Amino acid sequence: MHPGRSYYLPALLVIVLTISFFRLGALTLFDVDEAVFAQATREMVESGDWLTPTYNGVNRYDKPILFYWMMALSYKSFGINEWGARFPSAATGTLLSLCLFLFMRRQTDERQAFYAVLALVLSLYFVTYSHAAVTDMTLTLFITLSLLSFYLSLGQETEKAENRRYYLYGFYLFSALAFLTKGLIGILFPFGIAGLYLLATGGTSGIKKISSAGGIALFLLVAAPWYLAELSVNGREFIDQFFIKHHFRRYTGVISGHKGPWYFYILTLLVGLLPWIIFLPGGIAGALTRFREVRGTRGPAFPHSPVLFALLWFAVIVMFFSLSTTKLPNYILPSIPAAAILIASGMVRQSEKQSRYTNLLIAVFSLLLGIGVLAGPLLATKYLDRLRAAGVGLHADFLTDLQIWTAGLALLLFAGTGLNFAGAVRKKSYHELGAVLTLSVLLLLSFKALPLANQFMQGSLHKYSRYAQDNLGPEGALIVYRLNRPSIVYYSRHTITSATQPAELERLLQPGRQALIITTASETASLEKMGLTLIEKDSAYALFEKQ
C-alpha cells in the first residue's frame, strides 16, 4: 500500500467539501446567468411544465433541459433559494474532483492524483463555478467522465474485453448527458477529442475502437426523448433559437457583446489557475517528451499515457474557443481537469528534478502580490465616497476592517514567499504546505472580498427588487427600462415588462395602475421629466414609482 494512502483521500475530501460548500448560499444571485437560470427553474417548478423552460413567462432555449431538472430537484429538497440554486454545481464539482482523483490514482500514483485535484480545486476557476448556478460545472463533469471512460476503454490487452466495452458505454452515456446539459458541445468535444487521439495513436484503423452499436443506442435512449419532444411541441422556433442562434451564431458571431482577442484564454488561464499555472509548462514539456519517446508506435502496441491524452484534450478545447468570436471565461472550463493532470505531472517533475527555478518564480510572484495587497488600503480611501454613492453599505469601521483582512491576506502571501524561498534554497518542494496557504487565501477572499463585490454589483438591485415584492400589488406593473437584470424578476417575484424607448415606457404607464420602474441612474432626469416619483437611486441604478 502506498504510504500516502492513509491521509491523501481524507485530506482531499476535507478540501473539496470545504471549497465546494463553504458559504454556498451566502451571496445573492449574480446577474445575468445565475439569476436567469434560477428564475427559469422556479417557473418550471411553479408551473409544473418540465419540458420547456421559460423565463419571465417566455420560452427560453439557451440551454437543454438537464441542468434545469437538476436545479428543480434541488429546489424541491432545499427550497427555492440561493443554496438550492447553487447546490447542483457544488455537488457536480465535488464528484468531478473525486473521479479525477480515482482515475489518476489508477493511472499513476496517489501523490500525483492528489496534486491533480489540488490544482483543480484550489483555483479560482473551481471556486467560481462550483458556487455558480450555471451549467458549466455540470457540463465539465459529464465531458470529463466521458473522456475518462473513453481512455479506460482502451485498456490493456490483458484486460477483459467485457470491461473495455462497459467503459465505452460510459463514454456514450456521459456524452449524452453532456448533450442534455449544453447541446452540441457535449457531442463535439468527447467524440472529437477521442477521434483525434485514436487517429494519432492508431491511424485511421484505430477509429473503429470508438464505434459501438450498443453505445449509440444508449446515447439515443438517454438524449433523444427530450429533443424529440421539444421539436414536436415547439418545432421551427426551437431549431432557430436553440441550434441556429445559441450554437452557430454564438460561435461565428458576437453574442451579448462578449468579444475577446485571440489570447483571451491565455489571460484567463493565468488568473484562473493561480498559483498552479506555473507548473503547467513543465507538465506540457513532459507530455511532449513522452510523445517523442513513443512517436512511430501505432496500434495495439501504443503505450497510452494520461498526460499525452490530457495534452490533446486541453489543447483542443482551448484552441477551439480561441477561434470563436464570442468568448467568455467559462467556455474553457471543460479543459481545466486536463490542465490539472498536466500540472500534477509538472509538480512531480519539479520535485524529482529538485529545480530551484519554479520555487523562485512562485516566491517572487507571492512577494509582489503581497506588497500589492498590503498597499490596497492606502489606495482605498479615495474610492470610499464612490462606493458609498454606489449604494454599498460601508460601516464606519470599514477602512479599519479592510486593513485588518488585507493584512491577513498579505501575511499568507508572504508566508508563501518564505516557503518557496526555503524550497529554492533546499531544492525541495512543499506542495502540501503551499496548498494549505492557497486554501487559506481562497477562504479569506470568499469570506471578505466576495461579499463586498456582491454588494457593489447586486446590492441596490436586490433592495429595489425586494421593495417591489413588498409594495407592488398583484395588479401593479414592474417595468425595467433600458436594463437587463434577471435578478429583478427572481427577487421581486413579479413578471417584468421591458421598455427601451420613452414612447414605449409611456404606453406602459397606464392611468389608474400602480407601476414601479427600475432603470439606470443615467435615466433619472428623463424619468423625472415624465412626472415619475424617484424613490431611491445610487450611482448605478434608480427606482421610480407611478401612483
pLDDT along the chain (547 residues), means of 10: 61 93 93 93 94 92 93 96 97 97 93 94 95 96 97 71 83 97 93 92 80 93 94 84 67 54 88 88 89 72 85 95 85 96 90 70 76 67 56 55 69 74 71 79 82 83 93 89 92 92 89 89 89 87 88
Number of DSSP helices (H) and strands (E) in the chain, helices first: 22, 7
Same domain, 9 and 84: yes
Last residue within a domain, chosen from 459, 488, 515: 459
Q: Are strands 541-546 and 515-520 parallel, antiparallel or unpaired?
A: antiparallel
Same domain, 497 and 387: no
Half-sphere exposure of 425 toward its Cβ, with a 13 Å CA cutoff? 7
Query: Would you say 121 and 97 are in contact if contact means Cβ atoms under 8 Å apart?
Result: yes
Which residues span the domain enclosing 541? Answer: 463-546
- As to burial, measured by CB atoms within 10 angstroms (0-12 exposed, 13-18 middle, 19+ buried), residue 101 is buried
Same domain, 201 and 308: yes
Same domain, 313 and 337: yes
**H-only helix segments in 255-390:** 264-272, 280-294, 306-322, 336-353, 357-389
Cα–Cα distance measured from residue 30 to residue 458, given in angstroms and rounded to the nearest whole number: 7
Same domain, 174 and 223: yes
Same domain, 513 and 395: no
Cell of 247: 450554437
Same domain, 405 and 312: no
Cell of 263: 489570447
**Angle of helix 136-154 relative to helix 306-322, nearest 10 degrees?**
140
Last residue within a domain, chosen from 313, 331, 353: 353
Q: What is the pLDDT of residue 80?
A: 95
> Would you mind telling me the total number of residues written for the chain in this entry?
547
From 542, 528, 539, 526, select the one nearest 488 (Cα to Cα). Answer: 542
Same domain, 243 and 349: yes
Q: What is the pLDDT of residue 1?
A: 38
Same domain, 297 and 273: yes
State the DSSP H helix or E strand holding residue 405, giving kind and residue range, or none if neither: helix 398-426
Cell of 506: 409611456
Query: Would you say 139 and 33 are in contact if contact means Cβ atoms under 8 Å apart?
Result: no
Same domain, 40 and 154: yes
Cα–Cα distance measured from residue 438 to residue 4, given in angstroms and rounded to the nearest whole number: 21
Q: Does residue 297 sit in helix, strand or coil?
A: coil
Digit-coded pLDDT (tens) for 410-420: 777 777 777 77
Last residue within a domain, chosen from 425, 443, 459: 459
Same domain, 484 and 507: yes
Q: Are strands 477-481 and 496-499 parallel, antiparallel or unpaired?
A: parallel
Number of domains in the chain: 3
From 347, 528, 538, select the one nearest 432 (Cα to Cα). Answer: 347
Same domain, 520 and 408: no
